[in-house]
Structure 1
Amino acid sequence: MTKAALIVNANSRSGARACSHAEDLLRALDVPLHAVHPLRDPSRLLEVVEGAVDAGHDLIVLGGGDGTVSSVVDVLAHREVPMGLLPLGTANDFARTMHIPADLDGACRTIARGHVVDVDLGLCGRNYYVNRASAGLGAAVAEHMSPRLKRRIGPLAYPVATARALRKHRPFTATLEFPDGDHEPLTFTDLLQISVANGRYFGGGQLAAQDAGIDDAMLDVSVLRNGSPLRLLSMARELRTGSTTDSSLVTHLRTGKVEVRTDAELPINIDGELVANTPQLFSVASNALHVIAPPTWTDGG
């Protein structure tokens, strides 16, 4: 790699103070930086990354959280330009999946000394994502998760936004169909949420499944039914450990492709952003993204 661009979402939780420090660290580690872009306007991320790739940069160093990564993978998918990641967000689940250190020094050393690996991306219609897409409660949580809340209380923003979303939740009905024929069509009523995970982690460290990987060409689907507050709390504890044991409230499925239809059109949360609505087809783009990972990351994590 001979020409790198550092692009930082300066609006992310720690992005503003991290950009100049990261630049100094990367230059000291002999990463060939040719352009540095501290962006205060996140809406310009896609444009700036695309411009850097078109200008011939053969490494994009991206600073931000999961939403930042998800917003630019449309440009980097199926391109020969790898991404180095500085995890500067609230949850940093993609960095956790890739074993990228949470501290800036460690992340910069990974970029300078790591190796390039290929990982899958999820597809919600034509929208790529790295961690998870969800309809129902997850989308409502995204609506309550303001940048101000994340900056103010960090990871605690997730349970706070979830509690707010639960108060307003209305159960829904959904039908899941599997174009590859690996499962029979299924209809569920009185639902809390449907999530379709591509990565290993989401929601601030929650495991999609104990054996979930981001290079296995499969999606981990979780269907959550409504229940009493006490039962929902118990379910949340089990899900956080990556349990895939089905119960009266949870059904787990693994598939390469699933179509989700709901009785009423619902917004879909893709890595923290509401960018689509049901019905949608979810699938996998295998080995679509090149990422610099540390030596500890092998075979999906």
Structure 2
Amino acid sequence: MRGAALIVNARSRTGEQAFEEALELLAALGVDVGASFPVHDPARLAETVRAAVLEGHDPIILGGGDGSVSSTVDFLAHHHSTLGLLPLGTANDFARTLEIPTSLAEACETIARGNVVDVDLGLLGDNYYVNVASVGLSVEATRALSPFLKKNIGPLAYPVAAVKAFIKHQPFVGRLTFPDGDHAPVEYGRLLQLAVGNGRFYGGGMVVAPGSGMDDKTLDVYAIVLGRTRDLFGVARYLRSGDFVKSESVDHFRTSRVVLETEPELPVNVDGELVAYTPQEFSVAPNALRVIVPAGSTAARYDG
């Protein structure tokens, strides 16, 4: 191995100032950083991670938000390199799930002194993701989530964007089928949103579903039906805790594979990025990624 590679998305919310500070902190903690890259063009982040993995660097210390992780995880999945994360984004839901601290000093301490665990990844076709893939309202919210909002109000940008999205959102027709036969097919005439979650958090701290986790080898699927306005307000009220799945307007399924078809065909939001269109198959990739977490974290375990 050629030491760690520090790769920081310098365009992330706090990336520019964090790069040099992280280098100093890691060196003081005795972490051998063999290569370091401040990436100012996010489009080059994935190729930079890929090159570091192929060169044998371990761990890959990535500074960025959920989008940075999701865009690079394809090169880390089922590979020898371990991910060390410096949460520098707006939501940091992947880090939140794994109890990785958002303080740069504490995150560097985690990389130097933490434990390695295995976590599941979601799959949209052959594209890996870490938190959630969704269709409907979240797509409109992503479009409304401007860099200005993220930079100036942080995680509060997500509910603000959701309100803007709800005003213009149109319901859609959806059909779910389960290739493994663990649930009967289901059709919906007026869907507000459908999401397939792998991690525990999304959208700046909202819970995917009660009991959702990152090493349970299943996906949490929920469908929100556009019903009465008062029912939707009830859903919105309990989004933070995950208890929204108990609403009459929400169906919740736990599965390892699901196929989604919609009318019309719709874009799919994967960890905050629009990357594909329906129809799509979603599945879980068990123990696909090795990550360094704090020594006291109980969010996942190492399965070898």
TM-score by length of 1: 0.97
What corresponds to 2:175 in structure 1? 175
What corresponds to 1:215 in structure 2? 215
- 1:292 aligned to 2:292? yes
Match of 1:165, SS state, is helix
Match of 2:69, SS state, is helix
Percent sequence identity is: 56
Q: CA deviation at 1:118?
A: 0.6
- 1:162 aligned to 2:162? yes
Q: After superposition, give the CA deviation of every residue in 1:66-103 in whole Å (9 maximum; x if it has no partner).
A: 00000000110110100100000000000001110110
What corresponds to 1:111 in structure 2? 111
What corresponds to 2:258 in structure 1? 258
Q: CA deviation at 1:235?
A: 0.7
Match of 1:240, SS state, is coil
Match of 2:47, SS state, is helix
Q: CA deviation at 1:296?
A: 2.0
What corresponds to 1:184 in structure 2? 184
What corresponds to 2:151 in structure 1? 151
What corresponds to 1:195 in structure 2? 195
What corresponds to 1:41 in structure 2? 41
Q: Is the 8 A contact 1:179 1:258 kept in 2?
A: yes
Q: After superposition, give the CA deviation of every residue in 1:48-77 in whole Å (9 maximum; x if it has no partner).
A: 001111112121000000000000001101
Q: Is the 8 A contact 1:123 1:285 kept in 2?
A: yes
Gaps of 5+ in 2: none
Q: Is the 8 A contact 2:175 2:187 kept in 1?
A: yes
Q: CA deviation at 1:186?
A: 0.3
Match of 2:243, SS state, is coil
Match of 2:187, SS state, is strand
Distance in 1, matches of 2:171 and 2:115, equals 45
Q: CA deviation at 1:147?
A: 2.2
Distance in 1, matches of 2:257 and 2:156, equals 33
What corresponds to 2:23 in structure 1? 23
Q: CA deviation at 1:244?
A: 6.2
TM-score by length of 2: 0.96
Q: Is the 8 A contact 2:4 2:59 kept in 1?
A: yes
Q: After superposition, give the CA deviation of every residue in 1:15-45 in whole Å (9 maximum; x if it has no partner).
A: 1111110110001001100111111100000
Gaps of 5+ in 1: none
Q: CA deviation at 1:247?
A: 3.2
What corresponds to 1:102 in structure 2? 102
Match of 1:80, SS state, is coil
- 1:12 aligned to 2:24? no
Q: Is the 8 A contact 2:73 2:128 kept in 1?
A: yes
What corresponds to 1:273 in structure 2? 273
Change (3 A) 1:141 1:299: closer
Q: CA deviation at 1:211?
A: 1.0
Task: Tell me whether 229-238 or 205-214 shows the greater mean CA deviation.
Answer: 229-238
Letter paired with 1:177: T
Q: CA deviation at 1:226?
A: 1.3
For these two proteins, the number of residue pairs brought into alignment is 301
Q: CA deviation at 1:299?
A: 5.4
Q: Is the 8 A contact 1:173 1:262 kept in 2?
A: yes
Task: Tell me whether 155-164 or 274-283 shows the greater mean CA deviation.
Answer: 155-164
Q: Is the 8 A contact 2:219 2:254 kept in 1?
A: yes
Q: Is the 8 A contact 1:244 1:252 kept in 2?
A: no
- 1:84 aligned to 2:84? yes
Match of 1:239, SS state, is coil
Change (3 A) 1:299 1:14: closer
Match of 2:31, SS state, is coil
- After superposition, residues 121-160 of structure 1 pair within 5 angstroms as 121-160=121-160
Distance in 2, matches of 1:247 and 1:159, equals 20
Distance in 2, matches of 1:207 and 1:171, equals 23
Distance in 2, matches of 1:114 and 1:178, equals 38
Distance in 2, matches of 1:245 and 1:135, equals 17
The alignment yields a C-alpha RMSD, in angstroms, of 1.4
Letter paired with 1:3: G
Q: CA deviation at 1:138?
A: 0.8
Q: CA deviation at 1:110?
A: 0.2
